[in-house]
Amino acid sequence: MLPGYTDVHVVFVIVQALRRRGMDVVTAQDRGRQEADDAELLAEALADQRVMLTNDTDFSVPTDHLSDRELYCLIYRDILPAREKKLEHINHYLHWDCTGPSGDPDVWLRFYADEEEREEWADCYGQPLPEREVPPYPRILPRETNQGSE
């Protein structure tokens, strides 16, 4: 199993569970890097050949359609053991699309696409759109704030 590096947004219970399962996990807190920005943490993870684990919205992919169990099973079963994470260049990273099987837009169209994206997809592919749904497992994650807004 590849070693991991977590930022401050990963709940420590998850870190402990991964460690119990034999994963070598280092946290930003372990390194005194709680205040480091995402780009610095990602560069450190890549330099150490560690998988970057986070719940930060800057890194996250749409996962609100998955229960916590489904999400962590996907991470543990599919993402952590994937060989593709070993990258040659420190400033490159991989993005895992957790919206479903490759090439199946149903989850994205139901839960995440805005009306313009849905209309463009329908016009392009000439297929009926699935009903729009609210993701059943909304995660309360920190959101980027707009500078200068009141």
> Can you tell me whether residue 104 is helix, strand or coil?
coil
Say yes or no to pLDDT of 148 above 70. no
Contact between 64 and 136 under an 8 Å Cβ cutoff? The reply is yes
**Nearest-angstrom CA–CA distance, 145 and 138:** 19
Across residues 24-31, what is the average pLDDT?
Answer: 95
Cβ count near 116 (within 10 Å):
8
Contact between 78 and 1 under an 8 Å Cβ cutoff? The reply is no
Percent of the chain having pLDDT more than 90?
17
Question: Hey, which residues does 25 pair with through a beta bridge?
Answer: 4
The ranges assigned to domains in the chain are 4-98
Contact between 22 and 1 under an 8 Å Cβ cutoff? The reply is yes
Least reliable range by pLDDT among 47-56, 104-113, 136-145: 136-145
> Can you tell me whether residue 29 is helix, strand or coil?
coil
Tokens in use for 137? 């497992």
**pLDDT of amino acid 39:** 67
Give the chain's mean pLDDT: 77
pLDDT digits (tens, 9 = 90+) for 41-96: 877 876 777 888 887 654 545 678 888 888 778 877 877 777 665 556 555 556 66
Least reliable range by pLDDT among 14-18, 50-54, 141-145: 141-145
Tokens in use for 78? 């599919």
**Nearest-angstrom CA–CA distance, 94 and 68:** 22
Say yes or no to pLDDT of 147 above 50. no
**pLDDT of amino acid 98:** 74
